[in-house]
Structure 1
């Protein structure tokens, strides 16, 4: 399906009084600029899970982009900038590259909501070589390393950013021994591997492991099966669960042989955004999103909102909708964006990843926001999360890196 919408004008301007004054001062020199953005999505088939208590919103990500559109329009009315967003949603298995190729000039600023293979297929299109694409969904580390693309930036977090954030909190609490339960399948294997890498990085020891089998029905047997699964764990502080599809983790909590916090895919979780984030003006963003979407904002909504706001900020500062001018600006030392997380966000020039604080939350409150105090970095504390420059195998961004950041 294809949906097209334009943003309503809203009273008030986000940001500081100084920014308002700057916008008003620049209004006399405003130029008409049309900014066309496409949200291109390949829908995900519904996962077969034990519980359907937490359905995935059909408009996940899209509503975040629409809120970003409205926020950009608020600023744009003072600058003579007109923003438009087209949403193109393909069924599972749809040909994202073919659809992107049909976009033509309208496809030069694109938000991509799709898996790894489709992300690369779209980014590699000859017609999009000079486009600017924002990945708002795929967390695969390979997209930030060997398979990075110069025209592909990431407002979706790298998986290792989230697992690093979780391990920082564990270390700060001196919960340094974890027992790992790993689900079946490649996604759970990737998540477990990210946990292991982050645990090694921050000195957390995984003392025992167990494999969860899909053969059992934990809805009926959790009180019997989970104690048996966890009975053999060595002395540990937390139970770390690798359950990428949110399938079985909920049945682990309060059923372990030894009473311990359950973390990772349930209990204590590292998320780029959650409804419990309220500080730094986040409550305002939460309420505006709720009014727009009729539901809470999730991580993919946040990634799409940030991508739209990055475009809006760049257009405001450069006075241009040219993708290469926007890219050059957002990869420059001058760019930063307030994103209601306590520190401004910016992009890593070695792989195009948005650097951002990561909230670590439980069901009802924020427990900590990584990087925590004490986790320093030579360049930016946010770079203590995820793939750092010396570790990166991405070479596509070397030209931007030489310009300095």
Structure 2
């Protein structure tokens, strides 16, 4: 027990010290203590650009497939908020500046504006030709582009660019993810129905490639030919197997080899959503761009923190998160994580970090993710999902590969030995 005499002695010494030191008068109350508060770092603005190319698309079969006006931008803003939660400790204040373009020339003007105002990191929601135009202009400039829309395989191959990071998977990755699941379920015989647009034909080719890689068997291929000006109610019948015969509401599928799955290639959702119910064929599983799909995000995803992400997004934007939102979110979080690890924000250092093996993101899919060094493609698991819930996650087990056997996601898409990308 401390005696009253001891306490009195301490108080006397304190009083004497205060009386002696008159140059620094104490602001403490009697009996108080002083606490040295850490100073907050000076906040340095870090502006991220966002270019949206407005592209005309055919009207989808369902109005539910029309994207909201803030598609993608909302996801980027969610990432900005998370960046700022950590940026207050490193002295970085993130913001998002958006430009809309109706042509490749307007998109380039927007990029020039961003570059002139010091935007080193720019998210691009645009077609492949426009993205290439931007990348070639930005060559040798301190600008890194993040592709969140274009799934063209060529952008990761002959047309790859070192200043473009691909968040969105290419068609090969998506088709491989779906094919692995179908084969794992022993649904190996596929009827492939595709539209006539270049995008639909490209996805159909990706499906054929995936079938050859993983053991799928395409028993028949048919093309759906849309009738310009036709009534929307006429859409939905599987084209007959007779060459040259066009699908319409009165025709049904003629005799053909048995199939387990109808795989649809209809990226604009013009006819695919009606095939499961008015297709005229055997009532089998429908997969591909409709029905059971391979996607970066599902509104019903709940594992690995996804429930909280979906809830936070819905609370902030009053709608559900779409794949394009998740892709934009990953882009902004990539920038935030790289700058956090390299707080001086030297562009060359941050860019090298994003390209390298030390970047580790965990955007609600169970594993740490990064970019492939040979083509700039973001390595990520792909959800296999219906319109309501995920049913699996690819890569599936049992599909080994030689180049990076410890990285299972490299079974999706173009592996390093196959790549012709020269960055």
Q: Is the 8 A contact 2:384 2:394 kept in 1?
A: yes
- Segments of 5+ residues of structure 1 without an aligned counterpart are 1-26, 397-405
Aligned to 1:242: 265
Question: Distance between the aligned counterparts of 2:256 and 2:221, measured in 1?
Answer: 8
The count of corresponding residues between Structure 1 and Structure 2 is 370
Tell me, what secondary structure is at the counterpart of 1:83? strand
Q: Is the 8 A contact 1:181 1:210 kept in 2?
A: yes
Question: Distance between the aligned counterparts of 1:392 and 1:88, measured in 2?
Answer: 33
For residue 72 of structure 1, the aligned residue among 78, 83, 86 is: 83
Q: How far did residue 253 of structure 1 move? A: 0.5
Aligned to 1:7: none
Change (3 A) 1:227 1:182: farther
Aligned to 1:40: 51
Question: Distance between the aligned counterparts of 1:372 and 1:149, measured in 2?
Answer: 30
Change (3 A) 1:286 1:126: closer
Q: How far did residue 47 of structure 1 move? A: 2.3
Q: Is the 8 A contact 1:136 1:155 kept in 2?
A: yes
Change (3 A) 1:158 1:307: same
**After superposition, what is the alpha-carbon deviation per residue over 1:60-89, rounded to whole angstroms, capped at 9, x for unaligned?**
111111100001001111222111211111
Q: Is the 8 A contact 1:33 1:321 kept in 2?
A: no
Does 1:199 find its partner at 2:222?
no
Question: Distance between the aligned counterparts of 2:191 and 2:413, measured in 1?
Answer: 22
Change (3 A) 1:315 1:235: same
Comparing 30-39 with 128-137, greater Cα deviation is found at 30-39
Aligned to 2:125: 113
Does 1:58 find its partner at 2:72?
no
Aligned to 2:316: 292
Q: How far did residue 295 of structure 1 move? A: 1.1
**After superposition, what is the alpha-carbon deviation per residue over 1:241-287, rounded to whole angstroms, capped at 9, x for unaligned?**
11010110111103332121111121110011110111111011101
Q: How far did residue 225 of structure 1 move? A: 4.2
Q: Is the 8 A contact 2:235 2:271 kept in 1?
A: no
Aligned to 1:135: 147
> Rg larger in 1 or in 2?
2
Does 1:373 find its partner at 2:397?
yes
Q: What is the root-mean-square deviation of aligned Cα atoms in Å?
A: 2.1
Q: Is the 8 A contact 2:143 2:163 kept in 1?
A: yes
Aligned to 2:199: 187
Aligned to 1:251: 274
Q: How far did residue 128 of structure 1 move? A: 6.0
Q: Is the 8 A contact 1:219 1:251 kept in 2?
A: no
Aligned to 2:256: 233
Aligned to 2:6: none
Aligned to 1:385: 412
Tell me, what secondary structure is at the counterpart of 2:374? coil
Q: Is the 8 A contact 1:241 1:263 kept in 2?
A: yes
Question: Distance between the aligned counterparts of 1:275 and 1:329, measured in 2?
Answer: 31
For residue 336 of structure 1, the aligned residue among 360, 368, 374 is: 360
Change (3 A) 1:39 1:211: same
Q: How far did residue 46 of structure 1 move? A: 4.1
Question: Distance between the aligned counterparts of 2:177 and 2:374, measured in 1?
Answer: 20
Question: Distance between the aligned counterparts of 2:129 and 2:274, measured in 1?
Answer: 32
Q: How far did residue 347 of structure 1 move? A: 0.4
Does 1:219 find its partner at 2:233?
yes
For residue 322 of structure 1, the aligned residue among 322, 333, 346 is: 346
Question: Distance between the aligned counterparts of 2:181 and 2:306, measured in 1?
Answer: 21
Q: How far did residue 127 of structure 1 move? A: 6.8
Change (3 A) 1:143 1:93: closer
Does 1:308 find its partner at 2:332?
yes
- Segments of 5+ residues of structure 2 without an aligned counterpart are 1-37, 238-246
Change (3 A) 1:353 1:232: same
For residue 109 of structure 2, the aligned residue among 98, 121, 134 is: 98
Q: Is the 8 A contact 1:226 1:252 kept in 2?
A: no
Comparing 387-396 with 38-47, greater Cα deviation is found at 38-47
